[in-house]
A and B are shown apart, each in its own frame.
Chain A
């Protein structure tokens, strides 16, 4: 199958690069492969963590290729839409509007009018990498990350939009704040969203 590479990452993980990474994750979740501990997605990437005492890289790599060869691009049957009320006005809002060549209100309108998709979860519990920003809304990351970004910050970094679930260091541009609870380990579904879900920001009334 074309467009697939598999690299070693240490002696207990393989990095699978494929446009079908998300489908492979679903497949491995439904039908686990022996010795595989976890599979962690990123954009068109699935990192497969395995027990090196149970399987070797060569055998696992062959099994993963075989799985991929039988997969087809999946629909987003379970996709939900999340509308997040945002209070715009982060420390970088003016800078971002300027960078986009827009007034602040036009910038906010453009961002709220952009349908986003959860590409994958990661970085910190509940954080989602939101894809779909058009070129002019894509903001360069800060050259030096902030030590503390407040929980609920709505941020733009490179091709991504995101919301910080809790206070962390962070290098993205902050444009607003939401009260949405993205992660609560005691909820039946601890994480608000999943890969494939659609997301829209709206101005908090």
Chain B
């Protein structure tokens, strides 16, 4: 059990999300799924275990029992019982200690995994918090001071000395090159307008989407029928300021979607913060696939090594 002493800006329970878009329910799940996967691997959890996602300003958490935790994602300042707390590795926490996460100089989100995985309301096969409709995780809302959250018991284990290599970590800002694939709605003019210049991430950036600050000439078709959205879709509303879709985006949308992010760069969406600069770069499906496989092999290597550690000890 841990008690929330200070909730941070927006701290929510997240796992890998749901697959019931056909019912109109957003996918949800950690905005930086790579950070979730690595944090879980570090403490010997299955990849989809629920963890805390912290945003921009972190929480202070007092642990009521011994635990093994790992913090992955944006480089948040962190202390444990007043001493510097190392990210990207498994760290034992003693009952009574407080883990205090401050702000991050770059990036937007980090994931704190606890060995065993967090408890929390499960809806449609996921404990992810759906803030908009208000279900999942902790009553469908962000943490508040005084909340208590438990985790599932797992036999205690000696933490591995390993840490996650920097090449595996989701890059944080302030400059992002995001690989994109044109969709059937991409015209040559739109492609040129969207990929020929940098954009700034606006203040309208949350778990539903990140709005970019600059406008491009947008086609406006009020009769476009709503179509299913995909993670990483780049929507173009009538005012021409593109929206990059994050995990809590609505399942369908009526705006043209001329680009979709390559899967390999989806975790990066979770690290966009207002003021960051974004370049959209078109790649071929083959390049997108090769890049995804390249990273996947490295992540699986790390997961295997950590699984081996927890099996042996």
**Closest beta carbon of chain B to A58's beta carbon, Å:** 10
**Closest beta carbon of chain A to B77's beta carbon, Å:** 35
A122–B228 CB distance below 8 A: yes
A40–B22 CB distance below 8 A: yes
Say yes or no for A183: interface residue by CB 8 A criterion: yes
Known A-B contacts A123-B250, A123-B252, A125-B133; the reply to A49 vs B230 at CB < 8 A is: yes
1/0 contact trace for A112-149 toward B, CB 8 Å? 00000000011111111100000000001101000000
1/0 contact trace for B185-222 toward A, CB 8 Å? 00000000000000000000000000000000000001
Known A-B contacts A122-B228, A123-B252; the reply to A57 vs B183 at CB < 8 A is: no
B181–A10 CB distance below 8 A: yes
Which of A11-19, A67-75, A89-97 lies at the interface with chain B?
A11-19
Q: A residues within 8 A CB of B105?
A: none
Known A-B contacts A10-B261, A25-B22, A185-B124; the reply to A158 vs B223 at CB < 8 A is: yes
Say yes or no for A39: interface residue by CB 8 A criterion: yes
Say yes or no for A80: interface residue by CB 8 A criterion: no
B226–A123 CB distance below 8 A: yes
Say yes or no for B25: interface residue by CB 8 A criterion: yes
Distance A49 CA – B232 CA, assembled complex (angstroms): 12
B293–A125 CB distance below 8 A: no
**Closest beta carbon of chain B to A78's beta carbon, Å:** 15
**How many of chain A's residues have a CB under 8 angstroms from any CB in B?**
44
Q: A residues within 8 A CB of B22?
A: 25, 38-41, 121
Distance A7 CA – B133 CA, assembled complex (angstroms): 31
Q: Which of A37-55 contact B (CB under 8 A)?
A: 37-43, 45, 47, 49, 52-53
**Closest beta carbon of chain B to A81's beta carbon, Å:** 20
Say yes or no for A82: interface residue by CB 8 A criterion: no
Say yes or no for B177: interface residue by CB 8 A criterion: no
1/0 contact trace for A1-27 toward B, CB 8 Å? 000000111111101000000000100
B183–A9 CB distance below 8 A: yes
Known A-B contacts A42-B225, A140-B222, A158-B223; the reply to A10 vs B289 at CB < 8 A is: no
Say yes or no for A191: interface residue by CB 8 A criterion: yes
Distance A42 CA – B228 CA, assembled complex (angstroms): 7
Q: Which of B208-254 contact A (CB under 8 A)?
A: 222-223, 225-228, 230-233, 250-253
Distance A141 CA – B288 CA, assembled complex (angstroms): 37
1/0 contact trace for A156-172 toward B, CB 8 Å? 00100000011010000
A53–B230 CB distance below 8 A: no
Q: B residues within 8 A CB of A126?
A: 23-24
Distance A122 CA – B292 CA, assembled complex (angstroms): 29
1/0 contact trace for B110-143 toward A, CB 8 Å? 0000000000000110000010110110000000
Say yes or no for B263: interface residue by CB 8 A criterion: yes
Say yes or no for B19: interface residue by CB 8 A criterion: yes
Distance A198 CA – B79 CA, assembled complex (angstroms): 58
Distance A9 CA – B258 CA, assembled complex (angstroms): 9
Say yes or no for A190: interface residue by CB 8 A criterion: yes
B133–A183 CB distance below 8 A: yes
Distance A176 CA – B124 CA, assembled complex (angstroms): 31
Which listed residue (B25, B226, B230) contacts A10, Cβ 8 A? B230
Say yes or no for B175: interface residue by CB 8 A criterion: no
Residues of B within 8 A of A (CB): 19-26, 123-124, 130, 132-133, 135-136, 181, 183-184, 222-223, 225-228, 230-233, 250-253, 257, 260-263, 285, 288-289, 292-293, 296
